[in-house]
Structure 1
Amino acid sequence: MTEARRATLRDIAGALGLSVNTVSRALADKDSVSAATRAAVRAEAARIGYVPNSLARSLVLGSAMTLGLVITNPSNPFYAQLISSIELGARAQGYSLLLLVTDESAENEQRATDALLRSAVDGAIVVPVQDEWDHWRRVRDSGIPMVFVNRDVPEVDCDMVGVDNERGGYEATAHLIAGGARRLLVLEEDLPITTTADRVAGFRRAMGDTGLEVSDGSVRAVPTKRYDSLALPWQPEEAYRVASAVLASGERPDGIVTGNDYFALGLLRALAEAGLGVPGEVAVTGYGDHPYAGYLQTPLTTVRLPAAEVGTTAVELLLRRIRERSSDRPRKILIRPELVVRASTAN
């Protein structure tokens, strides 16, 4: 059986009586080729099933036309939306993505940086694990432009785009206080990451602004280590266990802020089993506005995250760095989230 031969630029050129150079410029949308010629070349390329050789193109352009995307866990709904918006923005500019998943592991992140360096990507968008950062300095020093997303690494001078999580935590807490809550509690992730720290900082600021006390027990850490790499980053049952223990101790918060909507699921079950009404006795907020939040028996007040806007902004910032090779000071862009008020806080 004869192996099928890959269609080439020379095949298109021979069929149309053009030079290979003209065909190449036509496929690249160069102004020096007429619109009629470009249309004819594209039609012939489609007819014979021509697929550009990305390696050859990268040698000609001096660019791999590939962006690295390093994500901690794509099953996180925020990151799933982020990946989609980044892929869409990159594709619109002719770039493909090299997706690398670290699963919140510093060891996996080290492997990801090695892969970025081997692949000679044009730039990288990174959600860092935040345990270590020397390997990111190595990538930066290699000349690969980077944009950190959602989590900052101040030790590495790079652009950063993320959600204003301090604002999100503040608005959720201030909303509960405005509704009459005075004994507030936070159920947050136990990961040492800036997103968690920023939300807690927002909680503390809102409490301080109204003169309410923040005790050592006001912020409870919920285990967020996944049971396997394919699981969601948060487990409702872990929040259920923590909340159940709090209520069993006799503590009676009248407002609870959760670090994500999955924690809110576990919390709502614990409150129901304790015979506490939501929002009558305890008002509850989530974080993330996941698709189910508005369809619970008591629809959940939560903070909606601008994932698509974060992804689009990150791509635009990275491509600007790639094209201009700018040495301007790194930019930090925080996009404000939106508090979505539903029945879990409406008395």
Structure 2
Amino acid sequence: MARSQRVTLRDVADRLGLSVNTVSRALAGKDQVSEDTRALVSAEAKRLGYVPNSHARSLVSGRTMVVGLVITNPSNPFYAALISAVERQCRAGGYSVLLLVTEDSADNEERAVQELLRFGVDGVLGVATESSSDVWDALREAGIPVVQLSRDIPGRGLDFVGIDVESAIRDAIVRVAPPGVRRIWLLEEDLRVSTVAARIAGFRRALDDLGVAHEHSLVLKVPTRRTSGASLPWSPDDAYALAANVITPGNHPDLVVTANDYVALGVYRAIRECGLTVPDDVRVLGYGDHPFAAYLQPALTTIRLPADEVGTAGVDLLLRRMADRDRPRTSTRLPAELVERQSTG
């Protein structure tokens, strides 16, 4: 028969003939309790179905033992891996994770921050939307430490862990560009976020390093559908429509650099339909190394992102910030890995 009331410390103590204080210390792992008593109490608590009251515990300790995680879209393979890494690292530190999703909507982001304030989380890991400004300041002003992940918000004084996107793009382009390259095009997202700006900066650095004239190369903005709350983070349709309008047998680049592997899908189709081939006529460089990249024909050369390392380092930095609120701001940019396949020869 199901119990009508929650099992309490008193229930466990009465069953064992111990004081509530002894049971509490045993479950908390206090040194004053012997190993035998701790094992006995733990077994009885499990048998009775005792679950600690986190709300009551937070009233005593001043901590909820919960970390907030705000991301844009969990179906993005990068963020899916990031969630797993954050949850695993938080669990190891004794924290639970409260996940909130914005779909790159500023309104959703503001609601997420208000929810975190209401819940009173101990710290927050957040991926900012393109409109982020003072919304994150509300958390810091409430005494809640914040670490930004993936996307930086310059000038806000927040800790940051992300990827050295600019160097990754620059190095990859220089590595895979064909000999005598004259024209390189970048198909980029139309979001005003730090990662997009970094990819464009890396693209332009590569042009300079290769001696490619900027006027012969293009940065083309692909409309993003992530703000519509679609189940997938991107659609290849818009990239295909854009590429099909600008790539012709007589007007095509030597190399197309894409903002993500979904964009590369659309580019592949546009190249094929105008009678060109990858990589003989046009080389293609992806970004993200999504699961399908290796199975395209030809297999897509792309940049693999260290999502697990970003999540783990982000949690570690947040825990340090929670322990020392006055420590200097930390900004960490991790290297990415170029995965060379057939799309770049």
- Which TM-score band (shorter chain)? over 0.9
- Counterpart of 2:131 in structure 1 is 131
How far residue 216 of structure 1 moved from its aligned partner, in angstroms, is 7.8
TM-score (norm 1): 0.95
- Counterpart of 1:257 in structure 2 is 257
| Aligned residue identity for 2:330 | R
Contact 2:123 2:145 in 1 (8 A): yes
Worse overlay, 23-32 or 262-271 = 23-32
| Aligned residue identity for 1:337 | A
How far residue 312 of structure 1 moved from its aligned partner, in angstroms, is 0.4
- Relative to structure 1, is the Cα distance of residues 74 and 216 closer, same or farther in structure 2, using a 3 angstrom cutoff? farther
Worse overlay, 256-265 or 103-112 = 103-112
Please say if 1:236 is aligned against 2:223. no
**Secondary structure of 2:99's aligned partner:** strand
| Aligned residue identity for 1:246 | V
Q: Which runs of 5+ in 1 are unaligned?
A: none
How far residue 249 of structure 1 moved from its aligned partner, in angstroms, is 8.7
- Counterpart of 1:335 in structure 2 is 334
Worse overlay, 307-316 or 112-121 = 112-121
Worse overlay, 249-258 or 103-112 = 249-258
Contact 1:172 1:257 in 2 (8 A): no
Compute the RMSD of aligned alpha carbons: 1.7
How far residue 78 of structure 1 moved from its aligned partner, in angstroms, is 0.7
| Aligned residue identity for 1:290 | H
| Aligned residue identity for 1:90 | C
Please say if 1:145 is aligned against 2:145. yes
Which structure 2 residues correspond to residues 1-347 of structure 1 after superposition, within 5 A?
Answer: 4-177=4-177, 180-215=180-215, 218-226=218-226, 228-248=228-248, 250-323=250-323, 325-346=324-345
- Relative to structure 1, is the Cα distance of residues 25 and 241 closer, same or farther in structure 2, using a 3 angstrom cutoff? same
TM-score (norm 2): 0.95
For 2:272 and 2:129, how far apart are their aligned partners in 1?
35
- Report how many residues are paired: 345
For 1:211 and 1:86, how far apart are their aligned partners in 2?
42
For 1:168 and 1:25, how far apart are their aligned partners in 2?
51
For 2:178 and 2:241, how far apart are their aligned partners in 1?
28
Contact 2:23 2:41 in 1 (8 A): yes
**Secondary structure of 2:169's aligned partner:** helix
Identical amino acids, percent of aligned pairs: 54
How far residue 217 of structure 1 moved from its aligned partner, in angstroms, is 5.4
**Secondary structure of 1:147's aligned partner:** strand
Contact 1:133 1:155 in 2 (8 A): no
Worse overlay, 246-255 or 140-149 = 246-255
For 2:85 and 2:30, how far apart are their aligned partners in 1?
28
> Which aligned runs of 4 or more in structure 1 are off by greater than 3 angstroms?
178-181
For 1:317 and 1:134, how far apart are their aligned partners in 2?
22
How far residue 56 of structure 1 moved from its aligned partner, in angstroms, is 1.1
| Aligned residue identity for 1:141 | E
How far residue 227 of structure 1 moved from its aligned partner, in angstroms, is 7.4
**Secondary structure of 1:284's aligned partner:** strand
For 2:294 and 2:84, how far apart are their aligned partners in 1?
23
**Secondary structure of 2:224's aligned partner:** coil
